[in-house]
Structure 1
Amino acid sequence: MLILKQTLPVIVALSIMVSGCASVNLVPAEEMAQAKSFDTPKGNLSGLYVYRDSSFGSTLKKDIWVNGECLGESAPHVFFFTEVPSGEQKISTESEFSPNPLLITTEPGKNYFIRQYIKLGVFVGGANLEQVSEQKGRAAVAKLKMAAPGQCSK
């Protein structure tokens, strides 16, 4: 009986994380196609793709911030695209207890790809970020839908 009491919260949390599906607003098809053309950013700008390609934690939406500005709430199988002035970038995602930031340095005229992934937490699923190669990022983004930038929950 003690084992059941200890494992029941874990079982409930896992079943919540893998059932149902969170959704977000999407951009029009033309805008999505333009972003998926992976054009070279002009001037002193860098392209930034932030995506979530997994169904794990499908009921969870997680805020994404770029340099302190809300990019939007992610959901499974969506990506965001934005252009930023080249230089140091701080990309953060909402996690269980505090934001998880990722610092990268971007160069003008290049695209960068950041993968957001959901991980197990104590009470709810957390999120983290990792930079991936352009080849891996393009392949992933090509299969996803583009989320409309929007309000973050916090």
Structure 2
Amino acid sequence: MKKFMSIIGLILLFSGCATTKQYVQQPDSNKDGVNYTNDSLAQIYVLRPSSFGSAVTYKIYQGEKFIGELGPKSYLVWQVDPAEGPIEIISKMENYAILTVTPEAGKTYYIKQKVKMGWVMARTGLEWLTEKEALEILKKLKAPEIQYLKP
């Protein structure tokens, strides 16, 4: 009976639905992947096309700046100033993954959030996507819920 209850618990854990919340301003370009708002800024997308581990959200940071919580089948998008120089995009869960971006004005960068099995909870990974791959994936994803952190 214990084994049965454990299996039911795991099914419920992985069948829940975590929502995506973005805590920084989202550019107007949104879902089509084109940077319409400001040619002097770079744009970054972090996409999570997988529904695996759907009860889990991944915390996404730009350096120490909290960008948002990434749920299944969704994305985060924000703009950065190239004058900041190289920046780190960080995904945190049981472990953490880091990609370094040297933003260029007017350019868009696409990153895929990978979901992996961990010992206690899900693990994270990040990998680059081509624009073509990202735009195909974006068509199937839902936009984030925008929330602003209180100062």
TM over 0.5: yes
1:46–1:105 Cα change, 3 Å: same
TM-score w.r.t. length of structure 1 = 0.76
Which of 79, 97, 102 does residue 99 from structure 2 map onto? 102
Letter in 2 for 1:36: K
Residue pairs, 1:27-106, within 5 angstroms = 34-37=29-32, 38-39=34-35, 41-43=38-40, 45-86=41-82, 87-96=85-94, 98-106=95-103
Q: CA offset at residue 49 of structure 1?
A: 0.6
Give 2:123's match in structure 1, choosing from 97, 107, 126.
Answer: 126
In structure 2, relative to structure 1, the CA distance for the partners of 1:57 and 1:17 (3 Å cut) is: farther
Gaps of 5+ in 1: none
Q: Tell me, what secondary structure is at the counterpart of 2:105?
A: coil
- Does 1:112 find its partner at 2:105? no
Matched residue of 1:60: which SS?
A: coil
Residue by residue, what CA displacement relative to the aligned partner does 1:31-81 show, whole Å, maximum 9, x if unpaired?
7973123125411x1110111110001010110001221111010011111
Question: What are the ranges of 5 or more consecutive residues in structure 2 without an aligned counterpart?
Answer: none
Aligned equivalents of 1:107, 1:32: Cα separation in 2: 16
Partners of 1:48 and 1:121 lie apart in 2 by: 27
**Partner SS, residue 36 of structure 1:** helix
Distance 1:89 1:47, change over 3 A: same
Equivalent residue in structure 1 for 2:141, among 141, 144, 148: 144
Give the fraction of aligned pairs with identical amino acids, expressed as a percent.
29
2:30 alignment partner AA: A
Find the residue that maps to 1:140 and give its secondary structure: helix
Return the alpha-carbon distance in structure 2 between the equivalents of residues 12 and 61 of structure 1. Answer: 21
Once the two structures are superposed, what CA deviation does each residue of 1:92-142 show, in whole Å capped at 9, x if it has no partner? Answer: 01121x432111222211100011121000111111111111111121112
- Quickly say closer, same or farther: Cα 1:14–1:134, change in 2 above 3 A: farther
Q: Secondary structure at the match of 2:124?
A: strand
Q: Which amino acid aligns with 1:67?
A: G
- The CA RMSD measured in Å over matched residues stands at 2.9
Tell me which stretches of 4 or more aligned residues in structure 1 moved more than 6 Å: none
Q: Structure 1 CA distance, aligned partners of 2:8 and 2:122?
A: 12
